[in-house]
Amino acid sequence: MSHVLFALGLTLLAGMATGIGSAIAFFASRTNYRFLSVATGFSAGVMLYVSFVEIFAKGTEALVKAYGEPWGHWANAGSFFAGILLIGVIDKLVPSAENPHEQHTAEEMAPLHNRFAPSPDFAAIAADPAHAAPGAHDHRVARSRLLRMGLFTALAIGIHNFPEGLVTFLAAMENPGVGVAIAVAVALHNIPEGISVSVPIFYATGNRAKAFLYSLLSGMAEPVGAAIAWLAMLVLMRGSPGIVPPQIMGLLFGGVAGVMVYISLDELLPTSRAYGKGHDSLLGLLAGMAVMAVSLLLMK
């Protein structure tokens, strides 16, 4: 039971990182966008490397053992693309109100951590959007609409985080070291999402505590995803904490690899590019791959 609690704890910590993003928005005198770029690139590197080198390979091993050659390979490839299809459908059905990874300007963020800072001139931004600072948003809309946008963004991020919790949990159950690496990658990914939820809710309500709370709650879908994965495994194992059948575990790992690749290419890398300059994104990506490679080698 201890390994289950460990895996659930990892997903909880990764989900709570949205609160770290919100805290950065409210308490940091200046948001370090270059750090966010490198961090999200690093997260993508970890996820891509571990998906193809470790998790996809484990899926192949389990499914070949269960179904033999060549059907084990076909089953693994099918589960990989099924994972991509699953997260793609979620992405299509639950789009964000706006890109949750858009960079917010320093002027726009200033009132969050300094109550005496002047509010940005959103009217001027809207009047001349061609010359607006990158990432500047028009917050002149009615407060009810702005609040709805912030809450919808929080809900959308929460639903997108659900499969990430499942991924972290399954990886930690199979290999605690890999689970820790994925949890760190997911946590880094959640930091800018926390900022994205906080900003519109703050401007709609003027309430820092409420903005922080909704930001934190958006990440709690990850431990919920982990708990559902555990319940599903109990059903598959008929209530016994025994070994999961290799064909089931293989299909799960193929699907997990697909989900992680989609998240990396569709969310993390575009986010990293949006926040960074020059080769920040690539440096973060390569650093994440290198750290993951060394970690896997040390665990051999």
pLDDT of residue 244: 63
Average pLDDT, integer, range 113-142: 54
pLDDT at 216: 84
SS3 287: helix
Contact 18, 201 (CB under 8 A): no
pLDDT interval class at 276 (50, 70, 90): confident
With cut-offs at 50, 70 and 90, classify the pLDDT of residue 189.
confident
Concatenating the DSSP letter of every residue in 238-282 gives TT--SPPPHHHHHHHHHHHHHHHHHHIIIIIHHHHHHH--TTHHH
Residue 135 has pLDDT above 60, yes or no: no
Q: Which of 29-43, 47-61, 220-234 has the lowest mean pLDDT?
A: 29-43
- Where residue 73 falls among pLDDT bands split at 50, 70, 90? very high
Which of 33-37, 55-59, 287-291 comes out lowest in average pLDDT? 33-37
Lowest mean pLDDT among 19-23, 142-146, 177-181, 214-218: 142-146
Percent of the chain with pLDDT over 90: 7
Distance between CA atoms of residues 207 and 290, nearest Å: 42
User: Which tokens sit at 266?
Assistant: 């569709």
Q: Do residues 10 and 183 make contact, with C-beta atoms less than 8 angstroms apart? A: yes
- Peptide bond just before 176 cis, omega within 30 deg: no
Is 121 in contact with 293 (CB distance < 8 Å)?
Answer: no
How many CB atoms within 10 Å of residue 123?
Answer: 10
Higher pLDDT, 280 or 125: 280
**Two tokens at 127?**
């009047």
Widest distance between CA atoms in the chain: 68
Q: Which residue has the higher pLDDT, 33 or 287?
A: 287
CA nearest to 81, candidates 63, 110, 56: 56
Q: What is the pLDDT of residue 145?
A: 59
Residue 124 has pLDDT above 70, yes or no: no
Is residue 218 within 8 A of residue 15, CB to CB? The reply is: no
Average pLDDT of the chain to the nearest whole number: 76
**H helices within 175-239, ranges in order?**
176-205, 208-218, 221-236
> Does the pLDDT at position 26 exceed 50?
yes
Nearest to 25 by CA among 286, 183, 151, 214: 214
Number of domains in the chain: 1
Q: Is there a contact between 185 and 10 (Cβ–Cβ < 8 Å)?
A: no
Domain span at residue 226? 2-298
Q: How far is Cα 175 from Cα 249, in angstroms, rounded to an integer? A: 13
